[in-house]
Structures are given as structure tokens and as C-alpha cells.
Amino acid sequence: MPETLTPKVLIIGAGTGGYPTAIRCGQLGLDTVIVDAGKLGGTCLNVGCIPSKAFIHAAGKFEAVKKAANGGTLGITAGSASIDLAQTVAWKDGIVAKLNGGVGGLLKRAKARHIQGWATFTDAKTCTVQPSDGGEPITITPEHVILATGSQPVELPFLPFGGNVISSEGALQLDRVPERLVVVGGGYIGVELGTAFAKFGSKVTIVEAQERILPLYDKALTDPVRKWLERNGVTLHLGAKARGMDGDALTVETADGQTLKLAADKVMVTVGRRPVTGGFGLEAMGVDMAGPFIKVDDQRRTSMKNVWAVGDVVGEPMLAHKSSAEGEMVAEIIAGRRRTFDPVTIAAVCFTEPEIVAAGLLPADVEGRTDVAVAQFPFSAIGRALSMEAGDDGGFVRILHGKDDHRILGIQAVGSHVSELSGEFAAFMEMGAVLEDVAGTIHVHPTLTEAFHEAALRGLGHAIHI
């Protein structure tokens, strides 16, 4: 006899929006079922954040060995360097599998039931799940539904995925390093993975339609990344547009109207992501849309009573940590707590070479304002940066602040390992800090955080080390 479930909460999607929500629901004593046709952890854990950072780490280690083999570095020499990408992928897959198991254990401990299968809604509160193991369909009629279906790579109609045209997800499954890799899209995903493959030994070309790589950020932040790419043999075609494949070559229209044929073993298309809103009966649920996204309020309620949505499916920024925070908030609201989603900032990181961090307002956001000042401090004057070869790439920490009240409005950094500063930047933004708060916090020596401290001191007119 088919099973029928009537939980308090049904969550669709077990990625970084869904599974933390299920865990928090369980902690709050809410009877919870979470459904996903894929593996626990969703895009981020399986084919996104975690495996890509594992690739980037492996690429960095290989680059270090190559430097040691090619004349030595820091007095360190080594024999020839080689890489077996299949073994790297196997190591990466091992990390993913370990984390998959960890998520499963956390859900079990929270007493949230996980069903692997495809969910289909016939109305806002009636769902049928076809289990992936071929078992009998399960009917679920919950009191609350939380949609956390995430996003997927955008496919260009003239460059459909298949064969030598791959997405970022496909790039993480390659069993050998492509000799020639063309990346279509110079945003953070394309530049991150393009950099990794350049370190692995690929001849990388990046094609970007805008006039600058990482176009969401200003030139000062992106210049150190561009210089690293150019120094390491990555070819950039900026203001250029991909037009399609011609055999094994990508046809590109350059900024000056010329047509190029870029020979490629693989073409990786990274032009963005789109929300997953099809295939599970969203149209039958009666929720309002905001363009391609599900429309929600500041509590992540949709237009249908007791139907909620979190994560990439509700709009930008499409960031895993934002998705988790939204989901945990919704769980608490359902449990009777008073919450709204109103963060001061959601910090973002580009794991490029060097890395970029941004929290709060960017220079473009305050352009023309005479009440805002900028304080910047270079990593070249920080001992810890120099001692870890992180002081010569043009990196810096920058603080945008009010001229009169010294209120911190935005913090950015570019440099090696600056991703680890993102939490500190977000914390000071969230507490509504002023320059004096940062200046009055004793920062550990020797660490990269001293650049943040010195930037605040510079804003106050008395930096010590410059």
C-alpha cells in the first residue's frame, strides 16, 4: 500500500539551503521530511563550492612542485612534476563522499527524514515523491512547504553542453588535463577554474563579453587577478563574444569586430546560473514569480500561505551561506520565533589568484558621494604576507567609511588567502562598526588581519607601517 506522510514541514532540495533548514527544524522539534533526487549537499557540496576548492587547492600544490622542479624556489628543489588528474578527481570525490555521509548523519540525529526521489506537486500542499530506488510512490501532505531547489548552469543555445563543451560541473569530472581549455565567461566560476587548470598545465583562454574579468568588481580589485593570469600565460579576450563551435574550434567575435577560431580540447561555459523552477509542479502551487525567481518577502514567505522559498531560487546573491541563513530563519519562524531576513551584508569571495573578498558597499555604490572616504593598506607592508609569498601581487585591504562619523560602509580585499578574512569583515559590518572599533581591536601579529587594522588606522590618519 502506498505510503502517506503528513509532516509539519516538507523541504524540497537537500543543498545548502535545504539540509541546514531540515536540521534546524529537527532541533526545534518540528516533524520534518526532506526530499531531493540527487545527493545530499546539492550543488555546493557535490559539484560546486567544495569540489572546486579542492581542485584549486590541488592545483596550487602542483604549481608549487613545478616551481621547485624548474630551478627551485625558497631554496627548495625537486625532481620533475607530473599530475594524474584521475587520482586528483578520486581524492576530491572522497572528500565529497565524506561530507555526504556527514550530512546524512546530521539529518538522522535531528530526526529529519530524508527521501531520495523526485517530488511533483499537484497543488501547494500535495506532493508525490517517486523514490530513486524504484519503490512505491509516497504521498506527502505537509502543513508547511519550503522550496530550496537551487540553481543550475546556464546553457547557451549555440553552445549546448555535450562532447567537448562542458559546464563547470563537467570540468570537475575530467580524468585528464586538457591541453587547450577555452573558458566562455570571465566571472568568478570561470576565472577560478580557469586558474586551476592553468596551474595544472592547460593552455587557458578566457572569453568575456564585458571589458574586464570579474565585471561585478572594480578595476583595482580585479587588476591583480588579471596580472596573474597574463603572467601565467592565460590569454584574455575581453569585450568578445562566443558564437559557436566550428569543429574543434570556438568561433569568437572580438571587440574590434574580427572573427577568431580558438582551437580547444574542451570549452567550458560559465556564463551564470539560473534558478531551478521547472519539473516539480511549481506552476500548480500558485506562487507568484519575480522574473525567473520565486517571489518572497523578508521572511521568505511566498504568495501562498505556508509555502516558503530559500536560496538561489529566490534571487541574488546566489551564495551557499545566504541560502543556509535563510533556511534556518524560516525554520525558526515556523517554530514560532520572530525573525526577518535583514543582514547588513553578505560577504562574497572569489577564490581566484589572488583571492578577492567583498562585504558591504563597493566604490561604484558610493560614486559621487562627498561624504564617503576610502582607506587602503597594501599587503606589501605586512610581514606575514611577505613571509608567505603573499606581498608582491598588488594585494590590499580597503575600507569605505563615512568622512564624519567613520561608519564602515564597505570592506574589500584582494590578495593571497584573504578569503579567511571574510568572517571578520562581515562581523564588523554586522555590528555597525566605525573605524575606531577596528583600530581599537588588537589584531594578532603576525597575521594578514593586521592589514585590516592598518587600513582603519590609515582612515583615522595614523597608520603605523606606511
* CA pair distance 188, 185, nearest whole angstrom: 9
Residue finishing a domain among 221, 243, 271:
271
278 and 267 co-located in one domain: no
Q: Are 139 and 266 in the same domain?
A: no
% of the chain beyond a pLDDT of 90: 96
389 shares its domain with 433: yes
Residue at 159 is within a domain:
no
* 62 inside domain: no
Instruction: Provide the number of structural domains found in the chain.
Output: 3
In a domain, 55, yes or no: no
Is residue 65, in this structure, part of any structural domain at all?
A: no
Q: What CATH number is associated with residue 257?
A: 3.50.50.60
- Considering the domain architecture, whether residues 209 and 301 belong to the same structural domain is answered as no
Check whether residue 100 and residue 244 sit in a common domain: no
Are 181 and 295 within one domain?
no
Nearest to 240 by CA among 157, 170, 182: 182
Q: Mind listing the pLDDT tens digit for each residue in 405-442?
A: 999 999 999 999 999 999 999 999 999 999 999 999 99
Task: Tell me if 158 is assigned to some domain.
Answer: no
Half-sphere CA count of 13, side-chain side, radius 13 A: 31
Examine the domain organization and report whether 288 and 367 are in the same domain: no
Whole-number pLDDT of residue 262: 97
445 annotated active-site: yes
Beta pairing class for 293-294 and 289-290: antiparallel
Do 388 and 432 sit in the same domain of this protein?
yes
Catalytic entry in 445, 453, 462, 465: 445
Q: pLDDT tens, 201-224?
A: 999 999 999 999 999 999 999 999
| Inside any domain, residue 465 | no
User: 191 and 230 share a domain?
Assistant: yes
Low-confidence ranges of the chain (pLDDT < 50): none
Residues 6+ apart with CB under 8 A from 199: 59, 60, 62, 63, 232, 353
pLDDT tens digits for 90-117? 999 999 999 999 999 999 999 999 999 9
Three cell numbers, residue 463: 597608520
In a domain, 56, yes or no: no
Q: Are the CB atoms for 179 and 259 separated by under 8 Å?
A: no
pTM of the predicted structure, to 2 decimals = 0.95
Q: Note down the domain range covering 442.
A: 348-459
